[in-house]
Amino acid sequence: APRAPALLGAAPRCCPPSFSTSGARSAKNRRLARKRALTERQLTRYFVDHRKVRVIGGQGGGGGHSFHSEPRKEFGGPDGGNGGDGGHVIFKADRQIKSLSSILPFYQGFHGERGGRKNCYGANGAYMYVKVPVGTLVKEDGKIVADFTQHGEEYVAAYGGAGGKGNRFFLSNENRAPTFFTPGEPGQDRVLHLELKTTAHAGLVGFPNAGKSSLLRAISNAKPAVAAYPFTTLNPHVGIVRYEDYEQVAVADIPGLIRGAHQNRGLGIAFLRHIERCRFLLYVLDLAESQPWIQLQDLKYELEQYKKGLSKIPCVVIGNKIDLPQSRINLPLLREQVDDRVIALSALTGDNLEELFLHLRELYDSYVKREQSQGKNPLKW
């Protein structure tokens, strides 16, 4: 049969490659290449900082009920072993987990096994580990019962029930052939509230559209959504600033606050709590706005009203959008009105980012020395 004519502009056929590209590593690389960055609205569905969880420990295994039997031993006596204990439900902090979205609303520990013959004890139920992000608070009836601040910390959320006693346990001189045994006890039943507070070294604090997300993209590996039109970030983002000596400084982009945030206006208290865990703050001001020092006063007022002393922690003032003409006029006025150090830069063009890198490292080194002098372990990323 005659061959079909080649399509116009079709690429010429080439010989197959001499090596295989269908391996596991190549397939993984292709999957990663197809991944797309999540938009801010899509990310809202994945980032969860509140979760109500019911946890029940595993039930203990029942005691065994049997009597020893073998040839020429007519009265062997009871030999029912005890049941195994139920497994605990344990929360464990993991730095790889960044949200409470993977936490299920219900967990139950594994049950213990029933006691067997020949005085064999039942196996204990295995522990169930639930990974939670570092910075998670566990509350019960409004009271804090656990606070995860370090990687690897554990908290027993629900204890497993004790195993029942077999009839061998009740053997005595008065009762040489006990026939009764006890069932396993039920596990602990609790309803807990998990609350995530982002743990980072530095927190970017500012009003909406001040350029916090653009700044975080410029100084770290984080990719929060940015656009050429005004909008506000809906979720906290954490970026890592890496230095040549392998030290890493975590910087959190806190969603924009508004006046009255301490009264739960706007995003309000839902994101003010993420600032509590920051070791120092970076106030990001829009220099293009008139009287930018008013922004700083309002931001510190909101933090102080939310938690007394929060506005007193070490900080630096960042005057963003220095590339705009109005910003160059407002910069000397801002420095006259503000006692804190002011760093003028442009997150869009990258102007003067070096000064921010150097001062950020100074704040980090001061924090590490302060923690070590108090016998504490500084937060490491």
pLDDT higher than 90, residue 60: yes
Q: Per-residue pLDDT tens for 104-119? A: 999 999 999 999 888 8
Q: Which of 123, 112, 111, 121 is nearest to 169 (CA)?
A: 121
Confidence of residue 258 (pLDDT cuts 50, 70, 90): low
What is the structure's pLDDT at 99?
79
Mean model confidence pLDDT for the chain: 80
Distance CA 325, CA 78 (A): 93
CATH number for the domain running over 202-374: 3.40.50.300
Angle at 254 between CA 250 and CA 255, to 5 degrees: 150
pLDDT higher than 60, residue 90: yes
What is the structure's pLDDT at 259?
59
What is the structure's pLDDT at 257?
62
Distance CA 267, CA 263 (A): 10
At 298, list the tokens.
């309002």
CATH 2.70.210.12 domain range(s) in the chain: 46-197
Q: Per-residue pLDDT tens for 165-177? A: 998 888 888 888 8
In the CATH hierarchy, which fold is given to the domain comprising 46-197?
Spo0b-associated Gtp-binding Protein; Chain: A, (2.70.210)
What is the structure's pLDDT at 224?
63
pLDDT higher than 70, residue 228: no
What is the structure's pLDDT at 185?
93
Distance CA 224, CA 214 (A): 8
What is the structure's pLDDT at 358?
93
- H-type alpha helices, 35-167: 40-46
Kind of pairing between the strands at 189-196 and 106-108: unpaired
CATH 3.40.50.300 domain range(s) in the chain: 202-374
Confidence of residue 36 (pLDDT cuts 50, 70, 90): low
